């Protein structure tokens, strides 16, 4: 669905493409900092990394609200307003998820995060990279949707992989962890990591809907 009959004759505002790209870059940067944070186990270092991610989360919020404000004042948008709104909102959800993971690690200060936990953070980064690449395709996918479709498939594959990693880890955790408090801490952190991979896949679902509607 196009915005209106007049959209055939009225220039569309291109400003949403760079704003969405900037938001995806903040997401990518936050995913890198999350991976770095899991290499450090002292409370001070964990707190410092959480502050870095919190700053990025605030920047993500700023960009998201700027996109929402622009939607309210722009006459013709490149896609339906709801699509742009949902895309920005879902990318912001991924950044929020990364922030939530870092916050819990800082507050709970668990034992060193296992390799499975680190693997989930790496999968989040992979998803962030594909989301960032997808934003580069928004201006041209209507005529050439192949790359965008491929990135959506990758996001789905990575989320399935994350589910397997999470399920394996939780099974081992309940078999091996004898400290109940530590078990609760680690389980909640891992759950937040897994939820964040789900949020990233949801970005892919929105992009798939764009392909169906416009390509």
Tens digits of residue pLDDT in 90-127? 999 999 999 999 999 999 999 998 888 899 999 999 99
Domain presence at residue 4: no
105 lies in some domain: yes
Q: Give the C-alpha separation, 55 to 153, whole Å.
A: 31
Q: What pLDDT is stored for residue 10 in this prediction? A: 40
In a domain, 6, yes or no: no
CATH of residue 52: 1.20.58.220
**Residue 41 located in a structural domain:** yes
- At residue 12, the pLDDT reads 55
| Whole-number CA gyration radius for the chain | 19
pTM of the model: 0.92
- Assigned domain for 7 exists: no
Residues in Cβ contact with 159 at an 8 Å cutoff, skipping those fewer than 6 apart: 127, 197, 198, 200, 201
Do the domain assignments include residue 5?
A: no
State which residues form the domain around 24.
12-214
> How many domains does one find in the chain?
1
Report yes or no on 124 lying in a domain.
Answer: yes
Q: Which two tokens stand for residue 6?
A: 């007049």
Does residue 40 fall inside a structural domain? yes
């Amino acid at each position: 669905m196009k915005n209106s009959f007049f959209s055939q004759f009225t220039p569309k505002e291109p400003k949403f493409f760079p704003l969405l790209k900037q938001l995806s870059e903040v997401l990518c940067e936050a995913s890198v900092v999350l991976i770095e944070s899991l290499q450090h186990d002292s409370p001070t270092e964990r707190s410092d990394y959480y502050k870095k991610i919190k700053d990025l989360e605030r920047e993500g919020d700023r960009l998201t609200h700027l996109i929402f404000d622009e939607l309210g004042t722009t006459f013709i948008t490149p896609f339906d307003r709801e699509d742009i709104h949902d895309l920005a909102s879902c990318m912001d959800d991924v950044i929020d998820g990364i922030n939530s993971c870092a916050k819990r690690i800082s507050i709970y200060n668990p034992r060193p995060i296992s390799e499975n936990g680190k693997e989930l953070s790496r999968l989040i980064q992979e998803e962030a990279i594909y989301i960032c690449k997808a934003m580069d395709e928004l201006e041209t996918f209507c005529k050439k949707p192949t790359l965008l479709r491929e990135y959506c498939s990758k996001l789905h594959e990575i989320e399935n992989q994350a589910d397997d990693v999470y399920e394996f880890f939780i099974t081992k955790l309940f078999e091996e962890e004898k400290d109940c408090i530590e078990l609760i801490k680690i389980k909640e952190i891992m759950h937040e990591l897994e939820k964040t991979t789900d949020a990233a896949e949801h970005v892919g679902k929105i992009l798939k809907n764009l392909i169906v509607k416009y390509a």
